[in-house]
Structure 1
């Protein structure tokens, strides 16, 4: 039994204790864990164990988000536990459906920009217009950090905003 298998098994056991409804494992290095938070809200993660026993984590559902590299199995477990608690709390918000819609729109914007860039010859002025609109949107979003009340969730590990 190699180290990846033991480490993966340890993480899988802990994720089951957190309520994972499904865990799939591929070649002892890639794991997909799914959590059903009720009311149709499914949150799932993919993590890979690298050759150097580090971890690469992505949330793939409810929307896709790369969370990057982690140094230990406990960091993966702590992050997922905290993330799930945040989603459990967020799903009670009156704005949750709008939040999900905005997240999906952001994903579609990224997909379509790639499609446009890789397959079409677009006028430079049009691309600059898109760049300006996206910069304005990002500036607006970043301004909301300072102008919105931060949730007080003391039992949840604090995750800094990505600025």
Structure 2
């Protein structure tokens, strides 16, 4: 059996498992790249993408409601288990009165990362006191936000 056929069989098997979890749409691109959409309560969408690489490993990333990589998995069972738990966590999280605030905070954080990336890759970033001072202030502000978030996390009860 060729490598392409093994990938195809694994992909078909994972599609069945994801549909059993409630995936509303699974789109296969080029045989090794997948997009999976789940529609939860109030038409809230959670979407993932994963690809099967040449070493038959699965790289997973959630792309909606916000992008975050989740790493490499060794087999389809592990990737489906991760998605299942992630969807369950979103269902619980959606019940929080702070869910919209959480989504807004992640949207703002992602906007900041995109702007910083755009600035660094598309503008001349020379030695300049304004740039150095500003980047220093940005790093201090981010450090303070991380400390505040850690404090909130330490104050909150962990979900099993």
Q: Under a length normalisation based on structure 1, what TM-score does the superposition of the two structures give?
A: 0.89
CA distance in 2, matches of 1:114, 1:27: 29
Point out where structure 1 has 5 or more consecutive residues left out of the alignment: 154-163
Match in the other structure for 2:157:
149
Total equivalences in the alignment: 152
Question: 1:80 aligned to 2:88?
Answer: no
CA distance in 1, matches of 2:27, 2:96: 31
Q: 5 Å matches for 1:43-62?
A: 43-62=46-65
Q: 5 Å matches for 1:24-35?
A: 24-35=27-38
CA distance in 1, matches of 2:118, 2:36: 30
Question: 1:18 aligned to 2:21?
Answer: yes
User: More relative contact order in 1 or in 2 (CA 8 Å, sep 6+)?
Assistant: 1
CA distance in 2, matches of 1:139, 1:55: 33
Residues 7-53 of structure 1: per-residue CA shift (max 9 Å, x gap): 01111100000001100001210011100002021001000001011
Q: 1:143: Cα distance to partner?
A: 2.1
Q: Under a length normalisation based on structure 2, what TM-score does the superposition of the two structures give?
A: 0.91
CA distance in 2, matches of 1:65, 1:20: 19
Match in the other structure for 1:101:
104
CA distance in 2, matches of 1:40, 1:19: 13
Residues 55-93 of structure 1: per-residue CA shift (max 9 Å, x gap): 100001111111011111111000000000000111111
SS of the aligned residue for 2:16 comes to: helix
CA RMSD of aligned residues (A): 1.2
Q: Give every structure 1 segment of 4 or more consecutive aligned residues whose post-TM-superposition deviation is greater than 6 Å.
A: none
Larger radius of gyration: 2
CA distance in 1, matches of 2:100, 2:124: 33
CA distance in 1, matches of 2:137, 2:114: 18
Question: 1:6 aligned to 2:14?
Answer: no
Match in the other structure for 1:156:
none
More helix by share: 2
